[in-house]
Structure 1
Amino acid sequence: MKAEPAALGAVLAEAEEARVVARADTHLMRSLLIGIFILMAIYALYFARAFFMPVILAFLLTLTLTPIVRFLRKRGIPEVVSATLLVVLSVCVVAIAGYLLSGPVIDLLNNTSSIGQQLTERLAQLRRPLERIMQISHQIEQMTETSQEPGIQKVALAQSGILSAAASNVLAAGTSFTIIFVLSLFLLASGTMFYEKIIQSFASLSEKKRALRVVYDVEREISHYLLTVTIINAGLGAVIGLGLWALGMPNPLVWGVAAALLNFLPYVGALLTIVLVSVMALISFDTISYALLAPAFVLLCDIIEGQFVTPTVVGRRLEINAVAILIAIAFWSWLWGFVGALMAVPLLVVIKVFCDHFDGLGHVGNFLAAQQTAVVVEDEAAEENGEAKA
């Protein structure tokens, strides 16, 4: 009789061990399936970028214009009318900007070689300490060329010019812009149709309320962020353009638009703007001391915008840590080029806000959040606990 409890305990132990092994296998299989799904999603985004890129841009444009449509709806203007007006206005702004920028941009592209030569001449005085090293490098290169066999010839591949490559993609760009604006029009004019479809997919009333609350919160926060950041970047571009015009910088409209677009790339965009403005200022002005005023003015504007304006207007709740931003910019620029880099931070904010509303994805949102945000949240939680205890 004493052997029966021992045997029963052994059986229970074996069953528990088997249960633990099965749970571990299930967890491993789930992780493998998630990894395979992520790889397949990246594969699809890369090879089907001609489809996904305009669709995602249309959704981002819709989220940007949604607060305006909601504001006009409260004033009695139907969604169809306000959406049509906003999309037509967006098309006009893009068309006018493209027309005004086409000439200066084409001139800059055609004069790339002369710009490089002028920059080299202006920086000649800074190269004097390095001339000896350059001479040694040139001598080594000549020795390498003379040591080659006489029968070996160098082959240089001619590359197509930038303008010809751009001209070959005009049709694709036009198609993408058409998809973006038409899809945005339908999404804005649809009103609450998608919210109603989402609610209908749940059975219980509590699930419907929770789904509606999550969808509205995510849509409100993201649309507010995108619209606010777009307005801030447009204001920054206008200030930089006017300041460079006052300094006598050629093509100030180009640099103002470039500053507004590149400011969607935190850290990287401001650095690129400063470098580009520095290059053009060095070849445009007579003295180097006066030429440095232009990049210094851009740097001052970027500091004021990044340290004071955006944190005050947008708030620190939606701030993303710098590591996540740089990784996202590198990933999306590899995936979709320059357009993907511009979309990296808005998409990162979308992911963070979405993760913050689900307990299972809270660790992802916590990883994406900036350190200041996490500290603020912890301080608020500590204050609430202290008030509750009191």
Structure 2
Amino acid sequence: MPDASPPPAPTHTPPRGLSAAGTPASGLQMLQGALLIMAVLYFGRELLVPLVLSVLLAFVLAPVVRLLRRGFVPRSAAVLVTVALACAVILGIGALMGRQASVLAENLPSYQVAIGQKLSGLQSAGGLLDRLSGAVHAVGQGIGNSAGGGTTAREAAPTALDAPTAPMPVEIRTPDPTPVEMLRRVAEPLLGPLATASIVVILVIFILLYREDLRDRLIRLAGARDLHRTMAAMDDAAYRLSRFFLAQTGMNAGFGLFIAAALWLIGIPNPLLWGFVAGLMRFVPFIGSFIAAGFPALLALAVDPGWGTLVAVITLFAISEGAMGQVLEPMVFGHSTGLSPIAVIAAATFWTWLWGPIGLLLAVPLTVCLVVLGRHVDRLEFLEVMLGDRPPLDPEETFYQRALAGDANALAEQAERCLKEKPLAEYLDAVALPALRLAQADAVHGALRPERREALLRSVELLIEDIEEEEDPPPPEGEAPPQPVPSAWHVPGAVLCLPGRGPFDTVAANMVGQVLARRGFGVQVGGVSTVPGAPPRLICLCLLEGGSSSATARYLLRRARRRLPGVPAIALAWTPNGAETPEGMLARALRAEGETAPLQLAMSLTEALDLAVEAAGTEAGPVLTAPAPRPEPPPAMGVAVAPA
């Protein structure tokens, strides 16, 4: 439940793992629990709707209570004052809307006549509606004649028995109601809403008064083994929901006031009523604005003999809804409420089926609560996956899936989005190379079929061609642009990228070559036998951890050194997260090879690029200077590891 103070900003993302005490342990139990919950929600809606309304209203009022508590107001007084103010505001709005509705009811017959006259004008002789209605009438008459088979002789010659007779008047009189019956007729429609409102008010008061006790009980259900993590999750969820509901209520109220003022300026009767309906309908996803615009549009037909007022009303709602949904709400809530569009539609359908119109109004808030719950409880994570707006797959998983499907266009779109924010080397390190690592793991275990592998390689090759012309984003403010490499390194083949023997090492070598070429290096990708006449100035051995064996990596490095003696070498043994990941078998094997000759070991493509730039910038020729080694683990003799 809402806490008395906002939680401190977390310094890092807390690990998941809240083990709920009452959470089912298997998928079948979770399905049975979901069906049971749906049945309870459906058959117990008379009891649960007031409870849900009170909980959501408590979320809205919790920030007001916190504000009064900061002013040294006692808790009981702060709760009572807040609830009294809320009731006064709701009753005042209800009374004002009732007066507006009564005025509308008095003028409704005249509005109906005006709308009928305007629509009848469209049915003038020769008009479109007249021609359509005539065609429909003719078709219906023809169908009736064909079905009836024409008139019969009896129909053509009516007899005396068919003569109409005068109806006998009948008058029914009811006795005058007694005072008790009159009181019952008046009280019965009011008792239900009054009882529900009273229950909601009482529940809101008790929820705000005993929120600590309720929070402790929820902590017991959510997981009491790790109190610190559970408390952080509960406080974060309650604080975020309180702010969200309060902000949404405030923005919808402001939207309603703006619509009321604009409709008053346009000349629509009862603008306060339609402003209230517009603000209320904004809680209904997608179709709420259309419902709110329908009533003022009908009145525009009645109060204006022309069509200008109708156009003004439609334009007002179109511009206002667009500004709220695309400008103001993203500024307040972020890009969205945390729900995917499909989840919003499904939630509206589900809650309307369960609880009717009140469920339609509460669909978005209730679904937001479910998403927050799934974000903090492991067993309920499927709720966030199904309903939340976070991507269901990580970027590298999305890359791998699109590449397996042979969808090169989707890969290019993902690359374009990423390259707007980060350089090419960082994109390849964060997305493309991890995806190749996933593909390589499947290929090593025999789970990647040949046709899938061919589709993946073809898609990645097309991607490399597509991003050839993409430019890196400009460097941040205050950071100098990279210096160009010396002209001697522009010669084709100045850097030789040697792929390993892994299934996707060649693709990785092409990516490394593309990054180096963009930086200004002359690159040659291929085996040692393809080296042109001039020897290269730098060798870059490209390997993905888990592909080539350690013996193969050592053999390739020794072979390159025999063919190209004296040429410095960089070994890129790419691993996830670069230098932050413990070294694998390839990295340890190459580190051991560095005992005989200098060798730079890079854990990421960005590190390999930095080492190549450093080698090109040395004044003493192509002698590679080793940077400071990492403190853990200590590097072997003659090997320097690039800094992270």
Regarding TM over 0.5, the answer is yes
Contact 2:115-2:301 within 8 A present in 1 as well: yes
Report the Cα offset of residue 296 of structure 1.
1.3
Cα distance in 2 for partners of 1:310, 1:71 equals 24
TM-score (normalised: structure 1): 0.77
* Distance verdict in 2 for CA 1:239–1:121, change over 3 Å: same
Listed one character per residue, the Cα deviations across residues 307-364 of structure 1 (whole Å, up to 9, x for unaligned) are 1111101123633122111121122222222211110000011111111112333343
Count residues in correspondence: 346
Q: What does 1:1-390 correspond to in 2, within 5 Å?
A: 30-106=26-102, 108=104, 115=111, 118-124=114-120, 128-139=127-138, 168-199=188-219, 207-316=226-335, 318-370=337-389, 390=644
Cα distance in 1 for partners of 2:188, 2:144 equals 38
Report the Cα offset of residue 221 of structure 1.
0.9
The more displaced of 340-349 and 279-288 is 279-288
Cα distance in 1 for partners of 2:223, 2:331 equals 41
Contact 2:237-2:372 within 8 A present in 1 as well: yes
Contact 1:316-1:372 within 8 A present in 2 as well: no
Listed one character per residue, the Cα deviations across residues 194-253 of structure 1 (whole Å, up to 9, x for unaligned) are 22344567996x611122111111111111100000000011111111111122210001
* Structure 2 SS opposite 1:351: helix
- Asked which structure has the greater CA Rg, the reply is 2
Report the Cα offset of residue 142 of structure 1.
6.0
CA RMSD of aligned residues (A): 3.6
Identity over aligned residues, as a percent? Answer: 27
TM-score (normalised: structure 2): 0.48
Report the Cα offset of residue 256 of structure 1.
0.8
Q: Amino acid of the residue matched to residue 226 of structure 1? A: F
Cα distance in 1 for partners of 2:307, 2:216 equals 62
Q: Amino acid of the residue matched to residue 196 of structure 1? A: D
Cα distance in 2 for partners of 1:203, 1:33 equals 19
Contact 2:297-2:314 within 8 A present in 1 as well: yes
Listed one character per residue, the Cα deviations across residues 20-43 of structure 1 (whole Å, up to 9, x for unaligned) are xxxxxxxxx954443343333222
* Structure 2 SS opposite 1:244: helix
Can you give the 5+ residue segments of structure 1 that lack an aligned partner in the other structure? 1-28, 151-164
* Structure 2 SS opposite 1:219: helix
Q: Amino acid of the residue matched to residue 307 of structure 2? A: I
Contact 1:332-1:340 within 8 A present in 2 as well: yes
Report the Cα offset of residue 387 of structure 1.
11
Cα distance in 1 for partners of 2:343, 2:222 equals 34
Cα distance in 1 for partners of 2:379, 2:217 equals 24
Cα distance in 1 for partners of 2:228, 2:361 equals 35
Report the Cα offset of residue 109 of structure 1.
5.6
* Structure 2 SS opposite 1:292: helix
Contact 1:65-1:227 within 8 A present in 2 as well: yes
Normalized per residue, the structure richer in helix is 1
Contact 1:79-1:191 within 8 A present in 2 as well: no
* Distance verdict in 2 for CA 1:138–1:247, change over 3 Å: same
| Equivalent residue, structure 2, for 1:22 | none
Cα distance in 2 for partners of 1:197, 1:212 equals 12
Report the Cα offset of residue 46 of structure 1.
2.1
Report the Cα offset of residue 255 of structure 1.
0.7
* Structure 2 SS opposite 1:345: helix
Contact 2:285-2:348 within 8 A present in 1 as well: no
* Distance verdict in 2 for CA 1:229–1:182, change over 3 Å: same
Report the Cα offset of residue 282 of structure 1.
1.6
* Structure 2 SS opposite 1:266: coil
Contact 2:253-2:279 within 8 A present in 1 as well: yes
Cα distance in 2 for partners of 1:310, 1:63 equals 19
Q: Amino acid of the residue matched to residue 184 of structure 1? A: V
* Structure 2 SS opposite 1:192: helix
Listed one character per residue, the Cα deviations across residues 250-289 of structure 1 (whole Å, up to 9, x for unaligned) are 0001011001100011221111112222112121223212
Cα distance in 1 for partners of 2:213, 2:260 equals 41
* Structure 1 SS opposite 2:226: helix
